[in-house]
Structure 1
Amino acid sequence: MEKLFKGIMKFRRDEFVSHRELFCTLGREQNPHTLFIGCSDSRVVPNLITRTRPGELFMVRNVANIVPPYRQTEEFVATTSAIEYAVKVLEVESIVVCGHSNCGGCAALHKNGEELADLPHVRKWLEVSREVPARVARLAVEKTPAEREWLTERVNVLVQMKNLLSYPFIAERVRQGTLEILGWHYIIETGEIYNFNDQLGVFELIDQAESD
């Protein structure tokens, strides 16, 4: 707790003061351009890896960056409601689904029910991505464990991108050209981010040439 309190004091003393005008502007409204759907993993820091400032990203974070398919329900649905708010109220221009290397949630997709017996809610949550292991099995012939891990994380991103299009208000905006969906794979140990090229069907490294 002491570490957190010291961090708060340092924030107010340094970062807040240097960005006071920005925070005053954000005090009563937000206008993010992107909905960032990422994993809850502590090693994934969206603002850091995208070099964005407060107010630019509306974030949803959960185990394995999962997007449940659209459905009408009376249940408590945190991820679905956040997506609904970002698109229909904030009118974001982009949605990013960002997976990452060494994802524990994606690794758990290959485990059986007994191995996840002590994590019943995680096990239930991962059912949204139940098609991933089968797709990986078809594609992972003669692949190393490391390649299989990356493949799982990338296929999982593709499944969530597909699930986003099951939301009528998202599909409509994509058809109109007012909303784009991006799929990323972030490699923690190198800082590299691969973007899914929908036309070629491959993940491509976002490099310096593309960002200039």
Structure 2
Amino acid sequence: MHLLGYIWMLSCWIKSAQAETILQQTPREILAAKGENVELTCHLKRGTLDEVFWYKLDGNSQVHFLKSATVLNRQASGEGITGRFILTRDVFRLSFSLTIKDMQLSDNGTYYCLMLSSYFVSLGDGSVVTVVPERKKVTSPPPTTKRHRIHHFNYPKVRNKKQTWNHGYVCSWSIWGSLIAGNLLLLSSIAFVVIKHKIQKPRRRCPHQFRKR
């Protein structure tokens, strides 16, 4: 454990002294549900590689050794590490990937890769792994627009108009009777005046009636 702490502090000191990071660790953060698989990768940009180590920093700031491998793929596992942790390599790309199968809630933590060479020690930036019991199902939100209801209006019933004459006036029989009676009375008055005028008009005498008898 003292050797592990010494390597840890030495790698951090060497990393701070480097002008350029030659080790790339991905992803920085990852969220996984219980039972899923997670893959973490370390890639060496340049140089030669002798050995790679994977460590886990838990919530209590305790460092746990997980897996290590050499260029010849001679691997070693830490205490209590089961077959869920698989370390694979890509010689041409100088990368090592740590796959964790069947994730458990106890796998929460920050994972670091450490690469050793004959002339350098490089430490990755770390990968924060968060394990949740299950993923929340994403459901589509309800539509925000409401359908407009169509209001039906009951219009009042219109009575049928009575038949109109040429001038468009609607008259009842009582009105027509009054009009007819008035017209008859007017005609009778006119006839009476005409007859009376004829009776009172003196007859015109002929010239022979003025002769002296």
TM-score, normalized by the shorter chain, greater than 0.5? no
TM-score interval (norm. to shorter):
under 0.3
Comparing both structures, which one devotes a greater share of its residues to strand? 2
Which structure has the larger Rg? 2
